[in-house]
Each structure stands twice: as C-alpha cells, then as structure tokens.
Amino acid sequence: MHTTPGFSDLLRLIDERSAAFRAAVAAAPDLGAQVPTCPDWTLADLVRHIGDGRRTWAATVAAGPADAKAAPEPVPMPEGRDDLLGWLEDATRELLDALEAAGPDRECWGFWTTAPRTAGVVARRQLHEVAAHTYDAQVTIGAPQPVPAEIAVDGVDEFLRMFNTTTDPWPHEPETIRFEAAGRSWWLRLDGEGARLVPRRDASVEAVGTAHDLMLVLYGRLGLDVLEVRGDRGVLERLAAW
C-alpha cells in the first residue's frame, strides 16, 4: 500500500526541490536556452512559470475556499542572476509559509476533481510540479539528475490518481495496465467508464522501471524505451495519445 508523504515532509521536499531548481538556474550559461523537455519554453520562461506560479498558489491557499484561483499582485522578474535567484527563493518561501499557516486540511480552490481541494493536496501537487520542472532545468543545462526516489514513487501514484483518473469513456477495447516501480504496483483500468486505479488483476500490458523513469514517462519527459514493457505496447501508446 502506497503512503503519501506527511504534510511536513511535503513542505520539506518542496523546499529541497526548489533549491535544486535554483541551483540549475544559477549554473545555466544562458537563460535564453530552449528547454528540451518543454520545447515551447526557454529557461527564462520556466523560471517565470515557477516564480509566478508559486506566488499564485500561495495566495490561493491563503484565500481559502473560492470559485477561482487567486490573482496576487505581480512581482516583476528581475534580470540580474543574483536578484533572480532571490526572487525565486522568495516565491518558494511565500508558498511554504502559506501552506504551513493553512495546515493540510484547510479547503481552497483547486483545478482537480479527483482529490479533495485542500492545502494538503496543493502541497503534494506543488511538490511534483517543481520536481518535474527541476528535471527540465537540469536537462537544459546538460546535467540531469534522478528525481529522488522518495518523491518519484509518490509522483507516480499522484499522477495516476489525479491525471489518469477520468469518467470519459476509453475509446478502445477495455484494457488493464500494470505499472511497477520501486517494488510497488498500480493497476489502471481503461473501459467505457473511463480510467481509474483498481485492485490487483490480470493486465494486458506491464510497464516496469525505476520510479524516476516511470514518473518521467508519465509526465512525457522520457519515452517508453526506458521502461521494460511486457505485453501489448500499443495500449501504452494509445493511453499517451488519449
């Protein structure tokens, strides 16, 4: 049984991944470099996304229950490298302070429908967003590092529950996919009722790999070739296209 990291651990890990993101930015020779894993963005675009996004979520958590995410006063992104790193660090601190003040159970706006709209779920979502984008920044500077296993295993679980769960009908023959990483397994059922995690059952295809690789395949950062695929690979390709 997978156990989500506790709230204090989520905050600690957000802080650690945010520091790793800043380290990649600090080492980048050119903030205008294209991000290979987000080809529509430069590294500067990614930095803006992280800084502005953390401030928006800080304000959203602080606002409590609402019909839309908050719109905080914009804080312009500075041009100097040292000022830019400070701007990013301040954004992370705003988010962590807001989450800590709210506590895990406080309700707030969220775009998802598959989990409670609480500060605890925001913290989990923010951890995996900054973890994925830290990898993006590291790839951009040519120094990718594995997503720490503690984060990656939960990243797989969160992605399958939040983004691969839907009531939209699966437009193909019913299938079950088994994912495996770090000694843990997830079974995703695809049928006319949509997509959802189910208890153990026979699978049409199995996708096995490290937690890092599986998380980043799900996020579209790596291709299926990094996984051991047993069975009908086409099912995974149809899922990715869907």
**pLDDT tens column, 24-69:** 999 999 999 999 999 999 999 999 999 999 999 999 999 999 999 9
pTM to 2 decimal places: 0.95
CATH architecture of 151-241: 2-Layer Sandwich (3.30)
* Average pLDDT of the segment spanning 4-27: 97
| pLDDT, mean over the chain | 96
Query: Does CATH place domain 7-145 in 1.20.120?
Result: yes
For the four alpha carbons of 139, 229, 162 and 164, in that order, the dihedral sign comes to: positive
Evaluate if residue 3 carries a pLDDT over 90: no
pLDDT of residue 2: 65
pLDDT value at position 1?
56
Contact criterion met (CB below 8 Å) for 140 and 35: yes
Helices and strands, number each (H, E), in the chain: 7, 7
pLDDT, tens digit, 9 for 90 and up, residues 159-200:
999 998 999 999 999 999 999 999 999 999 999 999 999 999
Average pLDDT over residues 197-225: 96
User: Predicted confidence band at 4 (pLDDT cuts at 50, 70, 90)?
Assistant: confident
Q: What's the burial of 197, exposed, middle or buried (CB within 10 Å: 0-12/13-18/19+)?
A: middle
Distance CA 41, CA 129 (A): 16
Domain spans of the chain, in order of start: 7-145, 151-241
CA distance 238 to 105: 37
